[in-house]
């Protein structure tokens, strides 16, 4: 049997008090551990891991990434915590988990051996019930990449390991049990400290602070919006009904429901009722409006799962509790090849359609409510909704929206979303030429950083900050902010299409194209113009000028000069200068001093590579509009 050495992140888990549970009720304990092991396996696979062994009450898994191993461990503990609530206290089954990153030996049959595994097992033994301990190698690999906090437990001497292990405990949101809550007095003093940091930020030291000290985690920024309850709409996800007639399929319908609840909870400013609250209605025929009113939510999501051999049909519908109107409904027919991958796909499509991005159904519904209210009664949250209820269409729109957001900030200076939306609004103002400055405003980055200081978990604030760094060509910080945004909002089409376009513009063509396509799959309404702009430039780069022309035609922002010059370049390459001229004239009418040189300047601001700019300007020249200067990118 052949062997190979490799570096792997190892997760070791076992049940606390397993012998006591078996002695009390052997049959029930076996049933519970089988169910819980299925949950753990599903979560391990979702995080790109594999279960190596699962003897008795233990489980061993490996991951190619320490980050994914820790995420899987946290997801496991949260999921099992929700399941345990359904059991009598004496029957609850809690796991402890250890995670280590180290060298292991892998046999040809997939078996693993080595100290890397032994250390993970020792770390697991140090963990509390429902807790997670990690080694210093894991901590070094994940520090700064996750929003979880960590408690340093010092050097620990453990059995059969000659040297002490430096150990950290993971402190996730909703507390993995053994973490004390700070007193109100501590929170008050921390809030004062946070306010002092904010004063420094407002005083002009923000960019330096951000680069050198990093963005604080939620645990280090109490006193701001982080500790406030969400201001937005509330939703209950009822257990998806298994219509298959096969009790064995319950694991899929329950797992799908749990995934949707988990991912909806990522959406900022959205109340999502916990699993144990909504699962009380499992197996009951209910009046949706009555249940919604009983639970005190504005929206209810319900659905069903039906399996026939290798075919699966999933339906989902979103109901407005107040009116009883079905706001959204969808049906998904799929073949069952990989159950876990299918579960992830359906979860992403449902969450992406109803809760995230500018095209989300719940977002649109909440905005319409705010628009119908009298302006004088609007609070900061509703002012933001009203400000984002329509899209760029005129100078008046820009000025009115600016006034709404500035009013929201005056009402609540510590409202992170108002700061973030104001920053993004400034970016849109530059793109649509409502801001007279030829370059993106400094207020983009400034307000985005303020928003992050107030709420480090706001994915859109990280997205906007990424663009602030993008325009200043600080690509290391752009990359970091983009990654944080992706991690915080994995189903937000806005985040993926807007940042994907930036990656593509700056020369990461394959990566950018993949990101904007993912956004389009999640929600075409949110992907919008960013998607078509990115695809236009990608098709143009590859000489696919007819496709580039189709992308220009599909772009929703036809009034933009940037859309019109896309026609010009494509028609130029296709030998159609007459068709190009009408689009060129529209740019001349819309933009003072418009010229080919101006197009090249804009492409440089968007960080396109010089080789691409020359190819693009060749199309402009062939359309009959040559550059006037060498700096434009071409010798005429």
pLDDT tens digits, 515-535: 999 888 887 877 888 999 999
pLDDT band at 133 (very low <50, low <70, confident <90, very high): very high
Let me know: does 462 contact 492? Beta carbons within 8 Å: no
Per-residue pLDDT for 20 more than 60?
yes
Per-residue pLDDT for 215 more than 60?
no
- Backbone dihedral angles phi then psi of residue 579, each to the nearest 5 degrees: -65, -30
What is the C-alpha separation between 42 and 255, in angstroms, rounded?
9
- Backbone dihedral angles phi then psi of residue 571, each to the nearest 5 degrees: -60, -35
**Mode of pairing for the β-strands spanning 149-156 and 165-171:** antiparallel
Give residue-wise pLDDT tens across range 268-295: 667 777 666 777 778 777 787 788 777 7
Average pLDDT of the residues in 460-487: 90
Name the nearest CA neighbour of 530 among 435, 606, 416. Answer: 606
Per-residue pLDDT for 168 more than 50?
yes
pLDDT of residue 631: 60
Give residue-wise pLDDT tens across range 52-111: 988 888 999 999 889 999 999 998 988 888 777 667 778 889 999 999 998 888 888 888
**pTM strictly above 0.85:** no
282-296, 321-335, 590-604, 621-635: the lowest-pLDDT one: 621-635
Per-residue pLDDT for 366 more than 80?
no
Per-residue pLDDT for 436 more than 70?
yes
Per-residue pLDDT for 356 more than 70?
no
| Residue 410 exposed, middle or buried by CB count within 10 Å (0-12, 13-18, 19+) | exposed
260-274, 346-360, 454-468: the lowest-pLDDT one: 346-360
Give residue-wise pLDDT tens across range 545-593: 999 999 999 998 888 899 999 999 999 999 999 999 999 999 999 888 8
Mean pLDDT for the chain?
79
Ordered by where they begin, the domains of the chain are 3-171 (3.30.70.1230), 182-214 (no CATH), 234-352 (3.40.50.10610), 373-477 (1.25.40.10)
**Mode of pairing for the β-strands spanning 299-308 and 234-237:** parallel
**CA 541 to each of CA 235, 303, 572: distance values in angstroms, whole numbers, following the listed order:** 44, 44, 14
What is the C-alpha separation between 358 and 498, in angstroms, rounded?
12
Name the nearest CA neighbour of 145 among 73, 65, 40, 76. Answer: 65
Residue with tokens 């995230």: 356
pLDDT of residue 579: 94
pLDDT of residue 184: 31
pLDDT of residue 463: 92
pLDDT of residue 390: 64
Beta-ladder partners of 311: 308, 335
Let me know: does 449 contact 210? Beta carbons within 8 Å: yes
**Mode of pairing for the β-strands spanning 241-242 and 299-308:** parallel
20-34, 338-352, 386-400, 615-629: the lowest-pLDDT one: 338-352
Residues 6 or more apart whose Cβ sits within 8 Å of residue 616: 537, 540, 569, 599, 603, 608
């Amino acid at each position: 049997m052949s062997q190979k050495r490799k570096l792997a992140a190892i997760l070791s888990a076992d049940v606390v008090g397993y012998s006591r549970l078996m002695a009390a009720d052997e049959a029930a304990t076996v049933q519970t551990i089988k169910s819980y092991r299925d949950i753990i396996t599903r979560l391990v696979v979702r995080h790109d891991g594999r279960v190596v062994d699962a003897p008795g009450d233990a489980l061993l898994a490996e991951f190619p990434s320490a980050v994914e191993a820790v995420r899987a461990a946290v997801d496991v503990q949260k999921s099992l915590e929700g399941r345990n609530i359904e059991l009598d206290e004496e029957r609850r089954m809690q796991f402890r988990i250890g995670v280590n990153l180290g060298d292991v030996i892998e046999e040809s049959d997939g078996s693993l051996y080595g100290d890397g595994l032994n250390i993970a097992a020792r770390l697991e033994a140090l963990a509390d019930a429902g807790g997670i301990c990690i080694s210093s190698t894991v901590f070094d690999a994940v520090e700064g990449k996750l929003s979880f906090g960590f408690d340093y437990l010092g050097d620990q001497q453990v059995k059969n390991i000659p040297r002490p292990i430096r150990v950290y405990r993971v402190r996730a949101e909703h507390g993995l049990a053994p973490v004390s809550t700070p007193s109100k007095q501590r929170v008050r003093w921390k809030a004062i400290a946070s306010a002092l940091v904010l004063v420094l930020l407002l005083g002009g030291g923000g960019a330096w602070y951000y680069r050198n000290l990093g963005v604080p985690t939620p645990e280090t920024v109490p006193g701001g919006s982080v500790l406030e309850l969400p201001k937005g709409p509330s939703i209950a996800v009822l257990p998806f009904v298994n219509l298959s007639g096969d009790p064995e399929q319950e694991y899929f319908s329950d797992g799908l429901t749990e995934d949707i609840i988990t991912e909806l909870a990522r959406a900022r400013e959205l109340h999502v009722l916990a699993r144990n609250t909504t699962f009380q209605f499992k197996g009951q025929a209910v009046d949706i409006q009555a249940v919604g009113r009983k639970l005190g939510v504005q929206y209810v999501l319900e659905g069903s799962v039906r399996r026939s051999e290798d075919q699966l049909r999933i339906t989902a519908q979103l109901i407005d509790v107040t009116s009883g109107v079905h706001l959204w409904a969808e049906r998904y027919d799929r073949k069952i090849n990989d159950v876990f991958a299918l579960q992830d796909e359906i979860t992403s499509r449902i969450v992406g359609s109803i809760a995230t991005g500018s095209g989300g159904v719940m977002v649109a519904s909440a905005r319409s409510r705010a628009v119908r209210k009298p302006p004088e009664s609007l609070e900061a949250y509703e002012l933001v909704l009203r400000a984002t209820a329509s899209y760029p269409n005129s100078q008046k729109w820009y000025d009115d929206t600016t006034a709404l957001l500035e009013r929201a900030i005056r009402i609540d200076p510590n409202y992170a979303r108002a700061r973030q939306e104001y920053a993004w609004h400034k970016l849109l103002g530059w793109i649509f030429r409502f801001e007279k400055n030829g370059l993106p405003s400094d207020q983009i980055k400034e307000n985005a950083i303020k928003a992050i200081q107030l709420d480090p978990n706001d994915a859109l604030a990280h997205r906007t900050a990424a663009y602030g760094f993008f325009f200043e060509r600080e690509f290391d910080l752009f990359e970091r902010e983009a990654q944080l945004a992706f991690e915080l909002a994995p189903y937000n089409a806005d985040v993926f299409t807007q940042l994907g376009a930036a990656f593509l513009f700056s020369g990461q063509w394959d990566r950018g194209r993949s990101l904007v396509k993912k956004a389009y799959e999640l929600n075409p309404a949110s992907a919008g113009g960013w998607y078509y702009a990115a695809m236009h430039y990608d098709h143009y780069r590859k000489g696919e000028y007819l496709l580039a022309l189709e992308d220009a035609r599909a772009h929703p922002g036809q009034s933009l000069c940037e859309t019109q010059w896309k026609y010009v370049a494509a028609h130029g390459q296709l030998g159609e200068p007459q068709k190009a001229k009408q689009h060129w004239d529209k740019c001349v009418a819309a933009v003072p001093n418009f010229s080919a040189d101006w197009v090249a300047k804009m492409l440089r601001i968007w960080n396109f590579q010089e080789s691409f700019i020359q190819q693009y300007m060749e199309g402009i020249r062939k359309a009959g509009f040559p550059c006037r200067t060498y700096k434009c990118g071409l010798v005429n």
